[in-house]
Chain A
Amino acid sequence: MIYGDKNLGVIVQNITGKQGTFHTELMNAYAREVGGRGVVAGVAPGKAGREVHGVPVYNTVREALREHDATASVVFVPAGAAGDAVMEAAHAGIELAVVITEHIPVHDAMSAIAYAKLHDCTVIGPNCPGLLSPGECKLGIMPAHLARRGNVGVVSRSGTLTYEVVDELTRAGIGQSTVVGIGGDPVIGQTFVDVLARFEEDPQTKAVVVIGEVGGNLEEEGVRSTDLPVVTYIAGVSAPPEKRMGHAGAIIEGGEGDARSKVRRLRALNIPVASRPSEIPGLIREVV
């Protein structure tokens, strides 16, 4: 596993919001199932003293950490205030912030990620489904029942496509070491390079599925940076140019970063590229 295990203490920022409340319950159900610690405290300014599914709520991250032992935060704070929430967490000593929120202005993301770095806080996301190490811990919104413990790492820019690939792997009898959704925005805290470096140091991980999409060239940077066996899938080969396909990151910018040329460049590096998600398990068996 990478980023955390059973012993990880987690807080949820904006725990009283609809998604914060719902997913705190799911995260803690998973923690109970695997014998982990899960969400130990929540934060919602002005709502100290409440409880959400038995989890105590505090006004600030600092106050929560005074009473509870936690090193990670899952951020469900609305877009306009999410950058601030990440900085608050980093400032208070949180080491890992997983940002689920989508539609965060890119300048806020740049500032928050830079500020977090100054405080040695690792940011995953924004606009991501989070992190799941089957049998150990879940931070975020991934449907955990699709995953099985195993030796294949999954790292992805797209939330739902991650679940699709995890589902395919599990149904083919291939378990996962850790599944990381890094987010689809133009600026994200952990890129493929960062996550693959962690996988490389993880004795459990024998191969990695890299799931990318149109926009930028982060996939290529990632696979070039690692010695691990890698299988890739790139969504968006049918995407028309200059159209915004779904979210901020998924746009073809002036011919650069389109899916077809990405696939071409990856194949030129001798990296297996699946032409559809259902081909991934077969390709994994070939590289392991």
Chain B
Amino acid sequence: MKLLEYEAKRVFAEYGIPVPKGVVIRAPEEVAAHLPDLGDGVVLKAQVDVGGRGKAGGVLMADRATAAETARELFSREIKGVPVREILAEERLPIEHEYYVSIAVDRSSRQPVVLFADAGGVEIEKMAEEDESAVRRVVVSPLLRDIPPFLMRELLGGAPKELAPVINSLYHVFQGKDAMLAEINPLVTTARGVYAADAKLIIDDNALARQGITVNRDLSEREREAEKHGFSYVELDGTIGVIGNGAGLTMSTLDLIEFYNGRAANFLDVGGGADQERVMHAVKLVASMPGVNVIVVNLLGGITRCDEVAKGIIAAGVAPTVIVRMAGTNEEEGRRLLAECGYRMLESMDAAVKAAMEVAE
């Protein structure tokens, strides 16, 4: 889950990373009360979970006289379709230089990777594309508590040594908060010291519980309902409901529908080892979406047992619209149960998808 900037900055501050003085406001008139603390120049930043917020008009500069009016203007905007409900009002820092630092999970080396650039505030991908040497990277063993000094020297190159403790603290945030990504862009130097002018923190969804985070804001209402039952669920805009087990097979079923020029309505992965009850909820959930007139269940039993799935489909009781393809663990029993109840079963996913297309049209 991606935290909003002010939430991320709160975490950074807990770990000793200096952040600008700031306050979250939920209405334009609130800004006035905080102006004495923030100083003459303020930055107003929309707290919306979209990429490229600055370019999309989500960050505005103001001074004492214009702060309230600028806040009102920002509250009235939509940033990439997302309404602005909260604004972070911050002191404007006397910036000397901007740097970039981020820590992410590197899939290839299976270790944390730290990226650093002598120029910040810009898009790192573009920077790396234009000049590969502009972005330095080091990987750190996950068994180490700190970034070792030799790696820190390699990372910083000629950049000021004062950045090192901040980068090391960011590494502590990354580890301590189960982050997939911890980023400061820009990381700025001022006459008063080093500051995280912006903050980005994405927490591993598999660690939300142990981080004490219960709400996953990234999910829509219906997706949240699906999550309650332990499903991965995504809504699309077609007419064929798709239930599969395992992300790969379910995505592959979706791809096959597209291959045959059909349109999937949604995508539900029941996950590994789904029992009768979970499957029943899955079928009901997918069937409940408006516009769905046929459901393809594509199931390959491994840890999931076909007989359990069959019982779940039957219990959901939406017989005429469900087309089933199942193979694998306890396949014969599953097929027998479904056959008894008159469900349509096909041997391959190609055949099942084609049959669903006929019903959908």
Enumerate chain A interface residues (CB-CB to B < 8 A).
18-19, 23, 26, 79-80, 100, 102-107, 109-111, 113-115, 118, 129, 141-143, 146, 156-164, 167, 184, 186-189, 191, 211, 213-214, 216-218, 221, 233, 235-240, 243-250, 254, 259, 275-278
Query: Can you list 23 A-B pairs with a CB-CB distance of less than 8 A?
Result: A19-B303, A23-B303, A26-B329, A79-B206, A100-B303, A106-B105, A106-B207, A110-B112, A114-B111, A158-B249, A160-B245, A160-B249, A163-B249, A184-B248, A187-B105, A218-B107, A236-B251, A238-B254, A238-B257, A244-B205, A246-B246, A254-B125, A275-B259
CA of A184 to CA of B232, assembled, Å: 14
- For residue A258, give the distance in angstroms from its CB to the closest CB of chain B: 12
Binds A, one of B86-94, B153-161, B263-271: B263-271
B210 & A80 in contact (Cβ 8 Å cutoff): yes
> In the complex, which residues of chain B have a beta carbon less than 8 angstroms from the beta carbon of A217?
107-108
Task: Name the CB-closest residue of B to A163.
Answer: B300
Question: Are B204 and A107 neighbours in the complex by a CB distance under 8 Å?
Answer: yes
Q: Mark B93-134, 1 if CB is under 8 A from A, else 0.
A: 000000000000101101110000000000001000000000
Q: Does B255 contact A (CB under 8 A)?
A: yes
Whether B251 lies near A102 (C-beta < 8 A) is: no
Question: With an 8 A cutoff between CB atoms, is B258 at the interface?
Answer: yes
Who on chain A is nearest to B209 by CB? A80
Q: Hey, which chain B residues are within 8 Å of A163, CB to CB?
A: 249, 300, 302, 327-328
B175 beta carbon closer than 8 Å to chain A: yes
The prevalent SS among residues of B at the interface is mixed
CA A189 to CA B30, docked complex, whole Å:
51
Instruction: Report which of B180, B247, B257, B348 forms a contact with A158, defined as CB distance below 8 A.
Output: B247
- Which residue of A143, A249, A254 is within 8 Å of B301 (Cβ)? A143
B206–A105 touching, CB < 8 Å = yes
8 extra A-B contacts, CB within 8 A, seeds A159-B302, A235-B251, A278-B349: A19-B303, A105-B210, A110-B110, A114-B142, A163-B302, A184-B248, A191-B107, A259-B255
Q: Which of A217, A243, A275: most chain B CB closer than 10 A?
A: A243
Chain B interface residues (CB < 8 Å from chain A) = 51, 105, 107-108, 110-112, 125, 141-143, 175, 178, 180, 204-207, 210, 218, 232, 234, 236, 244-252, 254-259, 264, 267, 269, 271-273, 299-303, 327-329, 331, 348-350
Known contacts A129-B303, A245-B232, A254-B51: does B255 contact A238 (CB below 8 Å)?
Answer: yes
Whether B236 lies near A240 (C-beta < 8 A) is yes
Residues of B within 8 Å of A243, CB to CB, are: 234
Find the A residue at minimum CB distance from B237. Answer: A240
Asked if residues A245 and B267 are in contact (CB atoms below 8 Å), the reply is yes
| CA gap between A237 and B264 in the complex, in Å | 13
Find chain B residues with CB under 8 A from A19 CB: 273, 303
Which residue of B51, B234, B331, B350 contacts A244 across the interface (Cβ within 8 Å)? B234
Task: List the A side residues contacting B264 at CB < 8 Å.
Answer: 238
Q: How far is the CA of A233 from the CA of B329 in the complex (A)?
A: 24
Decide yes or no: A235 and B255 within 8 Å by CB, A107-B142, A142-B302, A159-B246 being known contacts: yes
Partner of B108, one of A102, A157, A191, A246: A191
| Of B142, B175, B247, B255, the contact of A184 (CB 8 Å cutoff) | B247
6 nearest CB pairs, A to B = A158-B248, A246-B247, A160-B246, A161-B248, A160-B249, A110-B142
Q: How far is the CB of B341 from chain A (nearest CB, A)?
A: 24
The chain A residue with its CB closest to the CB of B207 is A105
A186 touches B107 (CB 8 A): yes
Complex-state Cα separation, A142 to B301, whole angstroms: 8
**A161 contact set on B, CB distance < 8 A:** 246, 248-249, 252
Bound: A179/B205 CA distance, A: 29
Which of B206, B249, B255, B272 has the most chain A CB atoms closer than 10 A to its own CB? B206
Q: Given that A244-B234, A248-B205 are known contacts, is A160 also in contact with B108, CB under 8 Å in the complex?
A: no
List the B side residues contacting A18 at CB < 8 Å. 273
Contact B206 A216 (CB under 8 A): no
Q: Are A277 and B257 in contact, CB atoms less than 8 angstroms apart?
A: no
Q: Are A164 and B249 in contact (CB under 8 A)?
A: yes
Specify which of B234, B244, B301 is in contact with A240 (CB 8 Å cutoff). B234
Chain A residues near B248 (CB-CB < 8 A) = 156-162, 184, 211, 213, 235, 246, 250
* B165 CB, nearest partner CB in chain A, Å: 22
A238 to B247, CA, bound (A): 13
Check B206–A160 contact: CB distance below 8 A.
Answer: no
Determine the distance from Cα of A105 to Cα of B208 in the docked complex, in whole angstroms.
Answer: 9
* Chain B residues in 8 Å Cβ range of A233: 252
Interface centre among B178, B204, B236, B259 (most CB of A within 10 A): B204
CB distance from B272 to the nearest CB of A (A): 6
| Given contact pairs A160-B302, A187-B107, A245-B232, A104 touches B206 in the complex (Cβ within 8 A) | yes
